[in-house]
Amino acid sequence: MKKKLPIGIDDFKTLIEDNYYFADKSLLIKEFINNSANVILIPRPRRFGKTLNMSMIKYFFDINAKEESRALFDKLNIEKDKEIMELQGTYPVIFITLKELKSDSFDGFLNKLRLVISKEFARHENIINNEKLNESDISYIKRVITCRASKEDLEFSIISLTELFFKYYNKKVILLIDEYDVPIQEAYMNGYHNEVIGFMRNLLGAALKGNLQVEKAMLTGILRVAKESIFSGLNNLEVDTIIRNKFSDKFGFLESDIDGILSYYEKDEMNKEKDMIKEWYNGYVFGNNIIYNPWSVLNYIDNYEEGFRPYWINSSENVLVKKILSNGNEEIKRELEELIENKTIEKVIDDNIVMGEIGGSSESVWSFLLMTGYLKAVKKENVEGVLHCTLEIPNKEVYIYFKNMILKWFDDSLSMLNYKNMLNALISGDIENFEYIFKRFVLNNLSYFDVSGKEPEKVYHAFVLGMLVSLSDSYEVKSNKESGLGRYDVMIIPKDASKYGIIIEFKKIDELSKESVEKAAKNALKQIEEKKYESELLERKIKNIIKLAIVFKNKDVEIIRGH
């Protein structure tokens, strides 16, 4: 009988004993223990196997399950390394996952953490009755296990557990903390970011900074939260993000993993579609390796009859990504246009993420999206210590996410029916109806994309993004490109030359300017004529050309059609 597909299985023992397929990443154990750093942080996108790998390390080293865990590694790659196998079952292990610590308040976060810490303490009942413990130790353990721990008790809970382990075993511990940044992201989304940052700095600082009871520690998460925010003063920390090469083949599927899976399940028909599998789920760049999304590949195999679908993207609400991009400035919207057109953008990347500053600059937004798996770096260049990356959308699955997110913007602010009616009116030449709906669109979106209502450029770029994803089947939409003697703002080029070609020139009038909207619109149309913007359309044999001037002044907008 074929092994089961391990969809959603993140416990290594369950995966092996219950006969699930395992893409062998066991050499991670060797790479971890041989690494010169005492503390290793490995950020990776969600659902790329972080928890499963941490669980594997736990079972390998756990001194309390030496004999029963030995069989889990039979016939795996790590078993061939006799020197490393000598370490199997020789360390006490603390394994804490913070991935469920999602709350809308700081108190809620603390309450959930009390449960997590209580369970980890209770898991080690053999040390609780240790005769080497004093009354203070026993009192502390009781408060933790009964979920009566104070905030200060919690801040020192991990280091206290390492000390209790050391007293019992007289041996240093392996410390594993999974998804350490989940509570930080939740706090950022819900307005208690500073409280959690202060707490996590104390919790992790106490556990990791100069803790002589820890042999090795590994932390995983999605982001590398800036050192000054969390890991201040921690000199023994090595961070291996996706732009670095260490551990780069241990999370996600390599090409060889895909070949092995398709061969094992004898999916000849899938082998014929391997190019499509690449187009949909491949393209992530971790260090020097090209990586497939494991979650999406496994779901595709499991649901083969349903065809290709965006499994990874649909496995989360992606609220933070939507918030960052919808609130992004004009530059971010313009660069998103480039990405949607399947082009690349050049950005300075900093893998230190300061949650409170995300969205404050274009660089911080694109750094965040790269680290979380929504972009890939096709080229990297280190210039005097500054990392310059060429970024693009990694695959079709993520492209669909961006497309749907943009359409959702319009659905939230205008309704999808009215949005489609607006575009249909535009491309059919019904400018009167287009103007009516567009003015409503502007009023709604000035509040949706720009709280101040003073940056209509954001609305313009949102409008262009909408056209890029909505009209791409029948039209080529160009934005701010050269044509004739100058540059136009938007050109809509039909693939069917009998349909309307459309040129739109946008103008913004400062609120203090005495220039009227009507005069600015006439000047915009004059510019279209003088710069001969229609030359590209004429070269493509398009004879029906609509020329529009759209002028913003605060929330007033005027649309005038040229001749």
- pLDDT at position 384 is 86
Is 244 within a domain? no
- Phi then psi for 434, rounded to 5 degrees? -60, -45
Whether residue 485 lies inside any domain: the answer is: yes
Residue 290, in any domain of the structure:
yes
The pLDDT value given to residue 344: 95
- Total count of domains within the chain: 3
46 falls within a domain:
yes
**Higher-scoring residue by pLDDT: 307, 485:** 307
pLDDT (tens digit, 9 = 90+) per residue, 371-421? 999 999 999 998 988 999 999 999 999 999 998 888 877 776 667 778 889
pLDDT tens digits for 265-305? Answer: 887 677 778 899 999 999 999 999 999 999 999 999 999 88
329 domain residue, yes or no: no
Per-residue pLDDT tens over the stretch 22-34: 999 999 999 999 9
User: Is residue 451 scored above 50 in pLDDT?
Assistant: no
Decide which of 290, 314, 338 is a domain's last residue.
314
Which domain CATH number covers 84? 3.40.50
- Mean pLDDT over residues 125-146, rounded? 81
**62 domain-assigned:** yes
Q: What per-residue confidence (pLDDT) applies to 233?
A: 72
542: domain range? 401-561
Q: Which amino acid is at 557?
A: V
pLDDT surpassing 50 at residue 452: no
Are residues 85 and 201 both part of a single domain?
yes
Residues 37 and 89 in one domain: yes
Higher per-residue confidence, 250 vs 329: 250
Among the residue ranges 72-76, 242-246, 307-311, 351-355, the one predicted with the least confidence is 351-355
What is the pLDDT averaged over residues 504-525? 83
DSSP string computed for 272-320: HTHHHHHHHH--EEETTEEEB-HHHHHHHHHTGGG----TTGGGS--HH
Please state, in angstroms and rounded to a whole number, the distance separating the CA atoms of residues 133 and 471: 71
Name the range with the highest mean pLDDT among 47-61, 232-246, 346-360, 462-476: 47-61
- Closest by CA position to 377, among listed 405, 351, 397: 351
**What is the reported pLDDT for 438?**
86
pLDDT, tens digit (0-9, with 9 covering 90-100), for 148-186: 999 999 999 999 999 989 988 999 999 999 999 999 989
Average model confidence (pLDDT) across the chain: 88
Same-domain pairing of 556 and 478 = yes
Looking at residue 118, its pLDDT comes to 94
* DSSP state letters, 365-418: HHHHHHHTTSSEEEEEEEETTEEEEEEE--SHHHHHHHHHHHHHHHHHHT-HHH
Total-model pTM: 0.86
Residue 391 counted as domain residue = no
H or E segment and range at residue 110: helix 106-122
Looking at the fold, whether 141 and 213 belong to one and the same domain comes out as yes
Residue 409 lies in a domain: yes
CB of 89 closer than 8 Å to CB of 217: no
Residue 452 tokens, joined = 């101040």
